[in-house]
Amino acid sequence: MLVNEQKEWTLPNTYFQPKHIAITEHINDYFCQTYNLETQVLRCAFVSNHYRAYEVEVLNGGDHKMFKRFEDFKQNLYNEELKLLSRISINNSTYPSWFKLGWRKSFEKRALSFTGTNTNHVNFEQIRSWEKSALHKVSTDNNAYYIKTVPQVFKHEPLIAQYLYHHHSDVVPPVVSVDPKSNEYIMQEVHGELLGYMKEKSYWIDALTSLATIQKHSTHQLNESKNLGCPSYEISSTLQHYLERTLNDLKASQVISENAYEKLSITQIEAKKLCQQLTSNQVPPALEHGDFFGGNIMVQDGKSIIYDWSDCTISHPFLSMTVIFDEIKETFSENVANDLLEQYLGHWTIFGCIDELKKEFMLVKKVAPLYYLTIYQQFIVPHFIDNWDQEQIINSYVEQWLSQFDLYKRR
């Protein structure tokens, strides 16, 4: 699609306030309002410090004169635009299915089958599209649903979400149906406000209680979780087998600097000490959320609803507390965070006294950035091509780990 601006043919372009790379609503709205087009964002094809380029499929509408044969007009395009077009490779078989032309049509058929409605009584709204998932809202006359499609690396999420709804229906979104072949599941819409925006302490306590309830139940059902495809990564063995390889990979790919690599190498000794201490822990493996914070918890009618289990694994349950503990400190205070931590740990006192559990939590929290760094680089990154957020995520983990040591603070 080319548009004529100031008597020159160019690719459609505009300015937006920066948003998460996967969010699509503002892009689809732009094409609808500016060109009267119904569109589907396929993927972000390029990212730089100055702009992003997205691949967009036109579904309906518009003036056919805007659609030109590339060969007829490529001589009129700027070099930068030609470079962008050369990056388009939506037919790459290794990309997720929702990046490809025509996927939306097959998706709508599945959604209609899911909801049992016809096209005259349903509205489709694209929410997100990136390598890690596609999310759509489907509204009918009586209900609204969210349909999430995930790549093969997260194929366990639909089944885990369904399993959790069967066992903990009061604290996770209602799962209406699951399609394992498409790695897709449909959830009934949850209404409320994100926990991260709420200042009422009781809601945060409820979220931690709900998490502990799910985790304690999972300690007796680990085989079921594994049978559903949930990955299992014990902290010590994961770092022992993959940490050195991870650091070498990051250095070779220049995701981290030489300086960061040297400091990470030095602190491997400390990591080994922490792992040795964790081998004697008393708390058993459990379902670990992987991304437990106020942005993945909805408060509906005063009750916490925990969602987005893509990153869940079977590992040390206290890993789930590491991020939200800091979030509680920022939202309230360190005293409140410690108080809520004790309440969470109180659910695990069958495995030790509070002081012992606190010590174990602090060990887990200290090593968590290095653990997540290793998991992400070894088991997530290889499944994706674009990995637009890889450098940001990796360097965040590196900074969190190194900031605990004087050698980093003196830089």
Domains, the chain, ranges and CATH? 3-86 (no CATH), 102-188 (3.30.200.20), 194-409 (3.90.1200.10)
CA distance 110 to 108: 5
Residues in the chain: 411
Handedness of CA 344, 196, 139, 43 (dihedral sign): negative
Residue 31 has what pLDDT? 94
Which among 61, 52, 151 is positioned nearest to 98, based on CA atoms? Answer: 151
CA distance 372 to 279: 18
CA distance 345 to 401: 23
Q: φ, ψ for residue 42 (rounded to 5)?
A: -85, -55
Residue 411 has what pLDDT? 46
Which among 148, 128, 134 is positioned nearest to 21, based on CA atoms? Answer: 128
Residue 410 has what pLDDT? 46
Which among 187, 163, 186 is positioned nearest to 173, based on CA atoms? Answer: 187
Residue 121 has what pLDDT? 79
CA distance 243 to 71: 49
247-272 residue pLDDT tens: 999 999 999 999 999 999 999 999 99
Residue 8 has what pLDDT? 72
pTM of this structure = 0.92
CA distance 225 to 392: 30
Q: Which residues, 6+ apart, have CB-to-CB distance to 91 below 8 Å?
A: 100
Give 380-385's long-range contacts (Cβ < 8 A, gap of 24+): 380/153, 383/151, 383/152, 383/153, 384/131, 384/132, 384/151, 385/92, 385/94, 385/95, 385/131
The tokens for 398 are: 């590196």
The tokens for 372 are: 């997540």
The tokens for 202 are: 């009781």
DSSP annotation of 77 reads: S
71-106 residue pLDDT tens: 666 666 667 767 767 666 555 678 999 999 999 999
Residues of the chain with pLDDT under 70: 6-7, 9, 63-66, 68-78, 81, 84, 86-92, 117-120, 406-411
